[in-house]
Structures are given as structure tokens and as C-alpha cells.
Structure 1
Amino acid sequence: MPEAAHPHATADTPSATGPTGAAPPAKAPLTGAPPASARPGLVLATVSVCQLMVTLDASIVNIALPAMGESLGFADSSLPWVVNAYALAFGGLLLLGGRIADLVGHRRAVLAGLVLFGLASVLGGFAQSPAQLVAARAGQGVAAAVLAPIGLTLIMVTFAEGAARARALGIWSMVTAGGSALGVLLGGVLTDLLDWRWVFFVNAPIVLVGLALALRSVPAVRPPLAGRPDVLGAVLGTVSMTVLVYGLMETDRHPWGSARTLGTLGAAVLLGLLFLVWEARFARTPIVRLGVLRARTAWVSSLLVTLLGAGMLAGFYFCSLFLQNVLHYEPLAAGAAFVPFCAGTAAGSIVAGRLTARFGGRVTLTGALLLTALGMLWFAGLDLDSDFLTGFVGPSIVTSVGVGVCMVANTGMGTSGVDPREAGLVSGLLNAGRQCGGSIGLAVLSTVAVAATRRAATNGDDARAALAAGYDQAFLVTAGVLGVAALLAVLFVPPRRPTAPDH
């Protein structure tokens, strides 16, 4: 099919211009329309399995950490690296992971990601030392950095824009938000009833199902992009993201104003600037073609998903801490308490497409973000006398419905009009925004919570009351962040999906 006739081509895509103004190589075929043999239902099932595993493993180890530490002899200072190794590899490699699918082909990318995730999980289950377990978690993070963007990429190239893509994005978003909550619950069940090693072994059957689905559903077509991979760009992008995520994770031990933190974050900024200069001026096949961000929908959706990522991760994290540290829930009960959140996210994801079609992107996203902010504001009212039914269910449902609508509406806006050859790039940007937003938000809000807890303790509150005050302050700031996101949606989100990119 000639490039000019392709229904997804726009003025912002590489069919019009390359990184230096020249057209991309003519031999790079368009592969946006799925082959006649493609099975959209099985593709969506493959995507859902991959995304479930990625989000599940971001949280499933949390409740099992004490058992892991006791079994393998972790020092208290090194135990958090079971979580951090996954987050660091995942966040640092997302941009590269998103572009891999465009360079090697969708089928190869998803199969390689699944195999690597399965191997790392089995090695983690059999780990006999802290170093082996941390290495296995890093391997899972590398695989997740490939699988998370390829899932969204497959949706973009399999489902046409409109109702079909909105339904697919609804299911993808539901799995994304629900997987984290399910991970908390499943981690408690497996650790309590079996052994901590099963939080790794449980991935083996999931990987086998994913491989079987992928082999049947993901077509083996030529890679969307031709040419040499941008090795230097990949290194700069990966290292800058990794240093940023690492610097943010270490703020719990080194204050924001410390030389260590300022130096690390400054290095991340410098590396990021070098990456942007290289991509804009010198890369022949850039990892991130900056021209894609000239479309208003692309940069607005990336910004909003970053703020939403901060709110989502903060909500899961501080709700879990409040339940266990203030209300003294057992790990299994704390995980079960997130079931209403899963249900609300599912409901929001289901109705998001219809709301966007009826009211437009601006109204839908603004309303959903305000609803999510309202839920966080409600959480900020939790106290020592709160219980599950009267204090936790209500804000959980309000927040989760807003999250479900936001994820579908915002992802639909960000992926509209994207050239299929750059589906992996856009997927990587959106996933990187959510991951970095979560890391930044968690680092900032943890500082806020600790400061508020210390103030409350200084004023004479007992330990539980001081913790509650700290968590409530974090919820309050999270509501403010989501309120800012709603304001940005009012100012910049197009009321209806534009027919051409807005320069």
C-alpha cells in the first residue's frame, strides 16, 4: 500500500518526515492494517495475559518480603532491593523496550519478553541467596519493559480507531489497574498457604498460556522500521531513565536536598538533555522521534498519564500501609480489601468509551480526573475509627471508577492518529510516563507523609495517630496533583478527537 494512501498517515508521522526532515527509507513497509489471518480476540487475550503478569509482579512480592528476608538472610537495608530491582530495570528500559517492537517485529518482541520473564521467574523461585533473588527480579523488570509497551502496540495495530479500539483499551486498562490490586491479594494467599517462592513460580503457567496465545495470534510480519538500531540513543535513553528512577528511589535514605540526591537527579537531567539532542539532530533511526510530540494529543496524554501514574501508585501504596499499619489488617485481609477497587476500575473502563463518544475527550477526562481527586480527598478523612465498610469502600469505588475512565480515555487520545510504524514508540512513551510518574509521586509523597507523621508525633499524638496523619496528608497532596491534571485537561485536551495533528 502506498504511504500516502495509508489511513493512519499524518503530517507528524515518518511518512512525511524523518528526524532531520528527510523521508524515511522507502523499504520500510507499513504494517498497520492487520493481516487477514489476524485474530483480534486472541491478540487481546495475549495482550491481557502479558499486562496482567507485568502489573501483578510489580506488587505481588510486597507482602512476601518478610518471609524472603528471613529465608535467604537479607539485611534490612538490602531487602527493599527485591522491589527496587524490578522497578529500576522496568522504568529504565521502557523507552528502549517500546522501540524494540518496531525494530525487530511484534511477534519476536512478545515471544522474547515472555520467555525472559518465565526464565527470570523460575530462577527467582529457586534462588538460594539475596544476590540471586535480586538478579532474578531485575530480569523480570527487563522483560516487563518489553512486554508492557508491546501490549499497547498490538492493540494499536490490530484494532481500528473507534469503538473496537475503545473496547480493547478498556480491557487493557482494567487489567493494568486491577493487576496491582490482585498482586497484593495473591501475594498474601500464596505466602500464607504455600511459600514465598510461589510468588515467582505462579508466573510459569501464565507465561505458557501467553506463549500459546502469542504463537496463534501475533502475525509474523516484517519489522515496521528498517535500518540500523540507534545504539547510542538507546544507551543514553536507558541510562538517563535508570539514573532518574534510581535517584528517586533513594530519596527515602538520602534527603531531597542532599548532595547525593541532587547529584544523581542532575546527572539524569544532563543525560536526558544529551539524549534529546542526539535524537533530534544526529540519530538516523531514533529511539524517540521527537516530531511525534508535535501532535497536541501526544504530549498532553503523556503529561496526564504521568500525573495519573503518580496518583494511582500513591493510592495503592498508602491505602495498603493505612490498612496494615493503622487499622492492623493482616496481609491477606489487606489484599482482599482492594477487591472494590478492582470492581470500580472495571466499571470505569467499560463506560469510558461511551462517555468519550458522547461528551468528547475534554469533558470525559476532566470529569474523571476530578472524580479521582475527590476519591483521594475522601481517603484523606480516614482516621483511627474508620472501618472497611464506612471508611474504605466509598473512596475506593469513587477513585477506581475515575481511574478506569481516565486510563481508557487518555490512552485512546494518545494513540489516535499514530502511524503504525511508531506504535511501539508511543506505547513506550505512555508506559514510561506512567512508571516515572509513579516513581516521582511515590518519592515526593513518601517525604510528605514522613514529615507530617513527625509533626504529629511532636505534637503528642501516639504512633498510630501520627501514622494516620502522615498518610492523610499524602492523600491530600495526591488529590491536589490530580486536580492540577484536571485543570490541564480543561486547558489542553481537544473537545473532540481532531482529524489531523495540532501543531
Structure 2
Amino acid sequence: MDKTISKDELFPAVTEKSSGQASEKEHQGVSSDEEAQSVSLGQDGSPLQQMRVSKTKGVGVITTLAGINGLNTMGSGILIAALPRIAKDVGLPSGLMLWPAAVYALAAGCLLHVFGSFADILGPKRVWVAGSFLFVVFTVALGLSTTGIQVIMFRTCLGVAMAMCLPTSVSLITNTFPKGHWRNTAFAMSGMAQPLGYALGLVLGGIFTDTIGWRWAYYIMAMVNFVISVISVWSLPDVRHPSKKTWVRRLREDVDWIGVIILSVALALLMYVLAMITSDWRNIRKPVQIVLLVVSMLLLAAFPFWMHRQVQIGKPALIPNRLWRKASFTSACLCVFFCWSSLNGIEYFATLYFQEVQGLSALQSSIRYFSQIVMGTSVNVVLVYLISRVKVITLVVVSTCITLISPALMATVGEHENYWFRPFWALFLCPVNPWVLFSVSNLLISDAFPAEIQSLAGGVFNEVAQFGNAVGLAVTAAIAASVTEHSHAEGKTATMDGYRAAFWTIFASTATVLIISLVGLRRVGTIGRTEKD
């Protein structure tokens, strides 16, 4: 019989606490209209096994949450496709070319755990809606930018806004849909949206850059975001966890602020160093970068000890160490770290291959990513059917083996090779594992954690993904630049030597996903089943 995941195995103390809280009257003083939007929690802290919103609102929830996940990566796709034109239009120096991409991951990655904690106290809907509307404002501002500093600044602000949205998605889905088809579909759509959004961003960025201008790609993105934000006010459930404390007192007493500072500073320093390496691999030799890297490593090493101390004295712990004792959750985070670094790396270097080696325009290179959209849609439709019928390890291992083919094809591609040979199949196969892994991992989180900490768990998961993005881009960019510089060839051949080295690095990263999933997910059965199943 397949093994199911119980939140009691991971957080017995927290579950008992939520059970006691749920026994109180939870909706005193709530009007009938508010009650229709609220979600009742069962005695185990999980949502009652009955959808508390209409099917129309259920579709609205899925649309808004998947939509913001897609917009998260769409902006980055547009940026990569249009970066040479953007740099020329706003006067962005060559040394800062990759900073607009790096600062987004820097801001989002350093704040996801913070807003995850806030959402568990203030309510995920409030934090999500605020972040979504801020994302609209800063997207328009990015389109209006006239200097390189403005582009970097508004991309940083976009990262902050997105950090408010990503960690709350797991909690909102879990508290809207009971276990079964609706919840599986919601997580599948949200999981699909990130890689699909990136592919759409690459396509739209290339099309608009070579036609009416790259700014319109962001304007249209902001329009879509505004519609999604308005729908979210109506559709998202108002999830509240009962407490006798006011929200101000909870923020003051129930948030581990020292832990927030330790982790945020550590990640900020580390991602800054990674951004500097991405811009120029020689920066790692500079004393200031070495010092910052050492300080970051020391703070990261000190963080688990602080978490242990907080638990021992009965104080709030930002990310309790027992969170990582669950092999399935830890394995999912490690897998998404290497998976996300691989996906963004192959798409980034494939774009450079088309434009820098084959000399294609932004439009011509972007059109080549339509294959990803076709594959992503197909995988997602099949996944909704398979996710509750096939073991997690089977889904992850098979999808990883398929994606593993992609970097191997690009690492052996010729400089003038026809698109329909290896490049087409590489782009066609590369998103299979990310699509599957994101959906499966979110379901694992929803099944393993009590309702009041699901936003924090979702924040940790997405933070690991953003961190993987930054590390993967920095490492592959440094390797590619170093190999190109030391190559005995010249011109495009030397450039291609560097790209091949980057693709082989991505191959190794994807193979790591396969090893981790075989070890860490071997005891996980099927997920997403209803209780009657």
C-alpha cells in the first residue's frame, strides 16, 4: 500500500496546538458575506473536506495564483530576450548587463521567508493582494525607465513585491480546495505557470523588441497583472488562524526577528557575491568578495544553532530545524534548487547560442521557444490525471531522465546546426522535470504541514528555488566565461566552447536531481488523493 504523508509526523507539537485553537469558536463576529469568503479549519488544522467557494470562484483562485506565478518568470524571460536592446536604450554599462536579472532573485530570495511569516500572521490573502498590486506598479515603472539605474532599481522592487505573493500560494490553495481533483489541478496549474511564464516571456520579449518595442511587453504584462489583482480581491479566500493576540502583538512576539536578520543578511551577502561573479567571474578573486562570502557562510552556519536555541527556550523559530527532518520535504527543496538552476541556465545559454553564435534576431530566437509551450501544456494535462495515480518517485525520476537529454543535446550542438535537429528537442524536453517537480512538491508541502505554517513552508520552498536560480546562473556564467577566455580557438568557436562547458555543468546539475529524488523520495507513495480513495 502506498505511504501517505501525515503532518503529525513532521510537526506533532504544532498540530496539537492548531487542534486546540481550532476547538475555539473561529468566526465570531463575522458577517455572512465574510463567512462566505472565509475557510473553516478542521480539528487537525487542515481545511474541511468541502470546497467553501463556488466553482466559479474556484476557477478564479486557480487563475490568479497560477497567473502571478507565470508573471513572476515572464518578466525575467522578457528581460533575457530584450536585454541587448534594453541596455542600448537606457545606457546600461556592459559590466552591469546581468544585474537587472540578478537583483530580482536577490530581493525575492532574501525576503520570501519574511513575508511567509507575515502571511501566517496577517493572513495570506492580504499579503498576496498587496504584493500583486505593487507588482503592477513596478512593472509599469520598469517600462517607463530611462536609465540603467532605474531598470535595476525597479527590478529590485519587483523582486520584493513577488516575495509577498509566492509563499502564500500553498496556503491559499490548501485552504480553498479539499484533497482531490480540484487541489491537484490548482497545484498543477501553479507548477506549470513558472516555466511556462518564462518561455512566454522569451517569446513576447523577442516579438515586441523587434516590432513595437520592449517597453510594450512590460505594459501588457502590467495590464494582465492588474486584471489578475482585481480578480484576486473577489476570489481568494480570507484564511484566518484564530488567536487572542492582536496582529500587531503577534508580529512583535511571534516572529523571530533575530532569525530574520541573520538569514536575510546571509542570503543578501551571498546573492550579492553571486551577482558580482555573474557579471565578471574574476570578481571572485577580489578581497572584498572573499570577505563577504566568508561572512555569509558564517551567518548561514550560525542560523541552525539559533533555531535550536529558540526552540529550546520556547521562543518562535523562523525556520525550525525539525522542518528538515522530513526526508520528502528536504529532498523536494534540494531537487528544486538544482532543477531551477538547470532550467534557467539552459534557457539563458540557449538564447545566447541563438543570438551570439548563430546571429539570429531577438524575434527569431524567441520563436524557437514555442516548443516549450506545447510540451508544457501537454505535460500539465497529463499530470492532472497521473498525480494521484502514480507514485511521486516515478513521476520525478521519469521526468528527470527526460529532461536530462536536453543539456546533453545542447552541449554537443554544432555552431550552425539546423534548429530542428538538436536545438528543437533540447528546448522541447527541458521543462518536463520542472513542470512535474513544482506541482508534486507543492502537494507534498500541503499534505505535510498544518495550515498556520503553510505560507512559511511555501516561502522556504520558493526561496530555495530562487537561490538555485542565482547560484546556477553565477556558476554557469563563470564557467562559460573562464573556458572561453582560456580556449585556444577564437571568435564564435571560443564562445561556443564556453557555452558547451556551461551545458555540461547543467547536465551534471540535472543528474543531481535524479540522484536526490531516488534517495530522498523513495518512501513517498502517491499524493493528492481524497480520503475516500
Fold shared by both chains (TM-score > 0.5): yes
Asked if the contact 2:389–2:526 (Cα under 8 Å) also holds between the matched residues in 1, the reply is no
For residue 442 of structure 1, report the CA deviation from its aligned partner.
1.6
Mapped partners of 2:316, 2:431: distance in 1: 39
Change (3 A) 1:209 1:435: same
Match of 2:13 in 1: 16
Aligned amino acid, residue 257 of structure 2: V
Could you tell me whether the CA contact under 8 Å between 1:352 and 1:409 is conserved in 2?
no
Q: Quick one: structure 1 residues 123 and 384, their matched pair in 2 at CA, closer, same or farther if it must change by over 3 Å?
A: closer
Q: Distance in 2 between matches of 1:42 and 1:224?
A: 26
- Structure 1 residue 190 displacement after superposition: 2.5
SS at match of 2:371: helix
Residue identity in the other structure for 1:429? V
Q: 1:443 to 1:80 in 2, by over 3 A?
A: closer
Matched, 1:466 2:482: no
Contact 2:410 2:426 in 1 (8 A): yes
Identical-pair percentage: 22
TM-superposed CA distance for 1:144, in Å, is 0.9
Match of 2:485 in 1: 454
Alignment match of 2:323 (pick from 292, 300, 307): 292
Q: How does 1:324-403 map to 2 (within 5 A)?
A: 324-403=355-434
Q: Shift of the alpha carbon at 1:355?
A: 4.1
Deviations 1:257-291 (A, max 9, x none): 54333322222222223333333322733332332
Distance 1:71 1:489, change over 3 A: closer
Residue 142 of structure 1 deviates from its aligned partner by 0.2
Q: Does 1:118 align with 2:143?
A: no
Distance in 2, matches of 1:353 and 1:473, equals 36
Q: Does residue 468 of structure 2 align to residue 429 of structure 1?
A: no
Q: What CA deviation, in whole Å up to 9, does each residue of 1:285-330 have, x standing for no partner?
A: 3332332222221111111111111111111111111111111111
Question: What is the CA distance between 1:339 and its match in structure 2?
Answer: 0.9
Gapped regions of structure 1 (runs ≥ 5): 1-6
Letter of the 1:75 partner, please give it: P
Q: In structure 2, how many angstroms separate the alpha carbons of the residues matched to 1:494 and 1:290?
A: 22
Match of 1:3 in 2: none
Contact kept, 8 Å, 1:159 with 1:165, in 2: the verdict is yes
Give the distance between the partners of 1:348 and 1:166, measured in 2 at CA.
Answer: 14
Residue in structure 2 matched with residue 208 of structure 1 by the alignment: 226
2:271 alignment partner, one of 239, 245, 268: 245
Distance 1:70 1:193 in 2: 16
Residues 1:494 and 2:522 aligned together = yes
Distance in 1 (alpha carbons) for counterparts of 2:470 and 2:46: 33
Deviation at 1:79, TM superposition (A): 4.2
- Mapped to 2, the partners of 1:217 and 1:466 lie a distance apart of 53
Is there any run of 5+ residues in structure 2 with no aligned partner, and where?
A: 27-40, 528-533
Counterpart pick for 2:110 among 57, 77, 92:
92
Question: May I ask how many residue pairs the two structures share in their alignment?
Answer: 486
What letter matches 1:490 in structure 2?
A: L
Give the CA deviation at 1:40. Answer: 2.2
Change in 2 beyond 3 A, CA 1:367/1:174: same
What code does the residue aligned with 1:485 have? V
Alignment CA distance shift 1:359-1:82 (3 Å)? closer
Conservation of the 8 A alpha-carbon contact between 2:269 and 2:296: yes
- On the 8 A contact 2:310/2:316 being kept in 1, the answer is no
1:486 Cα deviation from its structure 2 partner = 0.9
Paired residues for 1:19-58 under 5 Å: 30=41, 32-33=46-47, 36-37=52-53, 39-58=57-76
TM-score, normalising length from structure 2?
Answer: 0.84
Please tell me whether residue 234 in structure 1 is matched to residue 260 in structure 2. Answer: yes
Q: In the TM superposition, what whole-angstrom CA distance separates every residue of 1:359-412 from its partner, at most 9, and x where no partner exists?
A: 412222122212211222122121123121122112222223333233333433
How many Å apart are 1:223 and its aligned residue? 4.5
- 1:414 Cα deviation from its structure 2 partner: 4.1
RMSD: 2.7
Matched, 1:484 2:515: no
